[in-house]
Structure 1
Amino acid sequence: MDLPAAINTIIQQQPYPLLFTSISGSHLYGFPSIDSDYDLRGVHILPIEKVIGLNTGSETIEISKVRDSVQIDLVTHDLKKNGYVLEQLYSPLILHNLPEYEELKFIAKDCITRHHSYHYFGFAATQWKLIEKEQLHRVKPLLYVYRVLLTGIYLMQTGIVEANLIKLNEVFNLPYISDLISQKLAGGEHSYLSDVDIAFHQKEYQRLRDRLQDSYVASRLPEVPVAKAALHDLLLRLRIRS
């Protein structure tokens, strides 16, 4: 992937060490348009004096810049606040990482539970509400609906985080996904659906929600995470070093 040089510049300018930085959004999901923003996500490490003192550091840092006509958005969270945001952590599009990143990935496997399904239920519902409000229906929210539901189902069934819709559809074989992605790639971020049958997609939305519910019920994933001690040890080592 050819990336704007400004991305590395922005990463290097961050005030705290970054445990990792990855690409999220449409680039991760498999349907970036030529005008897609670069959505960067990551984890920063606050030093001890920014945690236990009166003048504490920011648990969340958000930066939005336009460089060379490209919109770049970077959001990072302190490790204590949001240490295992799964899709960001397991993104194959890693731009920067410390050696402990691999350790965190290993530990995070023991943080995956059946209840991560709630995130996907909620995200899909939010996107579907956007679709219902629109008179002219955009491609992007509909792709997001299918992406999050398939990611959730696959996670419940396998314990593996897969956010790329193209790869997910190699498993689920939904016949309309390829056409929707083609429309998005050809038309850009704000492209509208052509010859859309919203009633059909509403039935598919409900069918996949039901399948996610069934996958949650049948999932062999644990009820609660069991990695607290390992995460605590990792966080202490990173804080002390920072």
Structure 2
Amino acid sequence: MRDRIMKKLDEIEKTEEVRILLAVESGSRAWGFASTDSDYDVRFIYIRPRDFYLKLESTRDVIEIPIEGAFDINGWDLNKTLRLAYKSNPTLFEWSSSPVVYRDLNFCHRFRPILESCFSPRNGINHYLHMAKGTFYSYLREALVPVKKYFYALRPILACFWILERGTPPPMSFRDLAEGQLERGMMPLVKKLLEIKVNAPEVKRIPRIDMLNEYIEKHLAEIEEKLGAIPEGGRADWAVLNNFFLSEVENQWS
């Protein structure tokens, strides 16, 4: 499967006339709880030749490949990436720390220090809290619930507590988050649930687990209560981001 993904990335570079700087897995396969039929959620950052960025007309800054079978592949132009980095977009922190890397032209080594200087604890917690609340209230209060949605609520809650405790971007791996943040008394239940998740199809439903629902609801309220005291955090200077962008354009196409 990896070879097919690499071939697809090569095709994108050729047809779109871009250079892919970074390509990673961004979904459940990177989080560590893929089901037997989970998609491959491939995300990439690309750069175009210098003259493309000198056009007066508006230009598209994303590449979206039609979903084909198990492949969900799309990417962001570097200029869009850097604008979102300035806003401390949590998705970028996940991409840059994904444990499943399909391509990296040493980009993460250059980009990660700049990205970390943009990190806003408050933005991060707002993002993950919104994800957890949306999942919990939309999917986890019925008698039968999708097992995957428990992890779509738990992971962002644990990410919030990681940020609250450390003030740094959370790891992408659910296992790393659980080992660092999950209460020990909950570990056996979550491990059992994880075993069900990875050995079942995406649509697998189970009876609602009231103990876990109470845990989620309690911690959602706790995080929300602490939100006002969370620091905004720094943002990188536009000059730093501009210089990085210009350097990448020159170096990748020289």
Q: TM-score, normalised by structure 2?
A: 0.82
Opposite residue 26 of structure 2, the aligned amino acid is S
SS at match of 2:235: coil
Residue matched to 1:97: 104
Deviation at 1:202, TM superposition (A): 3.2
1:109 pairs with 2:116: yes
In structure 1, C-alpha distance between the alignment counterparts of 2:51 and 2:143, rounded to whole Å: 52
The equivalent position to 2:179 in structure 1, one of 151, 164, 170, is 170
Deviation at 1:151, TM superposition (A): 1.5
In structure 1, C-alpha distance between the alignment counterparts of 2:66 and 2:81, rounded to whole Å: 20
Kindly provide the CA deviation profile for residues 134-193 of structure 1, in whole angstroms up to 9, marking residues without a partner as x.
Answer: 563101111110011112221332214212112211122333211221111121211112
Question: Pairwise mapping of residues 93-242 of structure 1 onto structure 2 (< 5 A)?
Answer: 93-115=100-122, 116-132=124-140, 136-158=144-166, 159-171=168-180, 172=182, 173=184, 174-175=186-187, 176-193=189-206, 195-197=207-209, 199-213=210-224, 216=227, 223-241=233-251, 242=253
The equivalent position to 1:53 in structure 2, one of 52, 55, 61, is 55
Kindly provide the CA deviation profile for residues 7-43 of structure 1, in whole angstroms up to 9, marking residues without a partner as x.
Answer: 0011112221112111111111111122111001121
Where does the alignment leave 5 or more consecutive residues of structure 1 unmatched? Answer: none
Residue matched to 1:81: 80
SS at match of 1:13: helix
Deviation at 1:231, TM superposition (A): 2.1
Q: How many residue pairs were aligned?
A: 234
Question: Pairwise mapping of residues 15-94 of structure 1 onto structure 2 (< 5 A)?
Answer: 15=16, 16-54=18-56, 56-66=58-68, 71-83=70-82, 84=85, 85-94=92-101
Residues 1:203 and 1:189: Cα distance change in structure 2 (over 3 Å): same
Deviation at 1:133, TM superposition (A): 7.4
Kindly provide the CA deviation profile for residues 95-154 of structure 1, in whole angstroms up to 9, marking residues without a partner as x.
Answer: 101233311012111111122211111111221233157563101111110011112221
Higher helix fraction (1 or 2): 2
Deviation at 1:57, TM superposition (A): 3.9
Q: TM-score, normalised by structure 1?
A: 0.85
State percent identity of aligned pairs.
Answer: 21
**RMSD, aligned CA:** 2.3
